[in-house]
Structure 1
Amino acid sequence: MTMQSFIRAAEIWLPAPDGSELMFGDGIYGTLHAFAEHSRAMRFRKGEGLPGEAWAARHPIVMGSFKGTGFRRIEAAEAAGLTSGIAMPVFAGSAIRAVVVLLCGDDQTHVGAIEVWRNDPLEGAQIGLHDGYYGAAELFRITSQLTKFGKGHGLPGLVWASGMPLVMRELYRAERFLRHKEAVKVGLSIGLGLPFDYDPGRTWVMAFLSALGTPIARRFEIWLPDASGERLVYESGVSDAEEQPNAARPRAIARGEGLLGTVLASRLPATTQDCAAGAAWLTGEAGETVAALAFPILNADGALKAVTVWRF
């Protein structure tokens, strides 16, 4: 299995039984076998390494380059062609539940953006760019640094207002995407926004912006709990090629059923190395093995608001 997206590897880090550190939970590495083996033995205390920094900060962390940072696997990452990473924490109240780490390579042919936006009421009523990774989309980075959004405006502002994940298609045509002119210039086409409500008093939003030729992930989906909280129902999705599912997408997924049902039951991220088992509608062309990550969106109290699915 080869990761064919902007993201080259995805990891799940879980608290150790005594809560003192994060330990390896699961991962998708494609052909990066040596890096995977190295990573499985790692542990991170609060504030240590990329997972530990997200734990301590209570918000997403972007390392656009590992050089000069606290990233603890630099040599192994360099050997694997990995040069940047993103960590997304999951909290239930004050307790860390998991940290998901996404790792990218420095490829000048890859166009895309991974952004962290922040609103601090003490600094104003808009949400502004905190950090980001843009690959070859340098022009878009400059524009984003100069842009702020009000609540309900643009992808970050819409996610801020709703407190829910959001997908956008055809960013270059979307009036709600206020940077659409710049998106046209660099070829960005698909957007996903995720809320992070774990930092008391401040709002954080992640925006993943994908180009058709070099998708951040090959498909995003958003699933929501039904009124009973016992099932997930499909809300929206978007893919790099707008292909139809190869198998029928279920109308609802029960607690504990397959990849998404596992997340519904546990409120923890989960992966599958082969979507044919547990998420058959995400499978690729005949004979192709594709992996997926399911990431829960929790509110500040730890209740499940949504599950997002990333097919690589």
Structure 2
Amino acid sequence: MAAALLVRALASLPGPRCALRCGASCSVEKWFSKHISSDNRPKQPLTAYIRFCKDQQPIFRKQNPDVNILDITKKIAHAWRELPASEKQPYEAAAKIDRQVYKEQMAKYKAQLSPAQEEALKEEKRRKMAKRRATRKKRQLTVLGKPKRPRSAFNIFMAEHFQEAKGASVPGKMKNLFEEWQKMTSSQKKMYQQLAEDDKIRYENEMKSWEDHMAEIGREDLVRYKNRRKPSKGKKTTKKKTSKQRATTVKKSLGSKVAAPAMKKKRVKAKQSEE
């Protein structure tokens, strides 16, 4: 319970959050890989773009000593996009060769695995693909301006007191803040709980406006199921009328088909009596 609360609290921290989340997820991945494969598992080859980044990063950092790594990465990405195809070719050729070598090494590696290890390897691949899809979706939602989720009372408390919290490391600060939160009385927590309630109202209002906009631009798949627009009653009534009209038409046609032989017999009898 405490661990889960601490993990959720990371949402309120702009910087340390990524490091902690990365540390937790990476340790799980290392454990998983360690138990399904040996140390001779081939490493994924570098792409052409990553090769270019590794070459250019020292140059860009030397030219821009006061620029943070994120901005340098953006500059390198822009440089790659502007790079002529002829200058990209050496990176792409090297990546292609490494990719072929990797495929051959993976084929040999998989041949040594037991059925259980091979299935675990497939499961790990599926998990990674699902994680990538989730990351892409999250990035897309950020671009579309989806409102941030509401923070809990503890999230707000942590964001407010994180800088002055005791502890040499991020986990140490979080642990001390959590212990301090547990010792607080209900009256002391009340202010943060009220702020959390206000944040929930903010989130619901912003989400309503955002979902209305998503429905207007044809992205109703991003709208929560409970808020999706239902067909208007007028359209349903029209459909019912149409189905009733069809049923009446079918009955009439069936009735005319049944009545036709009887009418024919009457006409024959009337003709015979006249003769």
Q: Give TM class, smaller chain.
A: under 0.3
Structure that is richer in strand per residue: 1
Structure that is richer in helix per residue: 2
Is the radius of gyration larger for structure 1 or structure 2? Answer: 2
TM-score with structure 1 setting the length: 0.22
TM-score with structure 2 setting the length: 0.24
Higher relative contact order (CA 8 A, sep 6+): 2
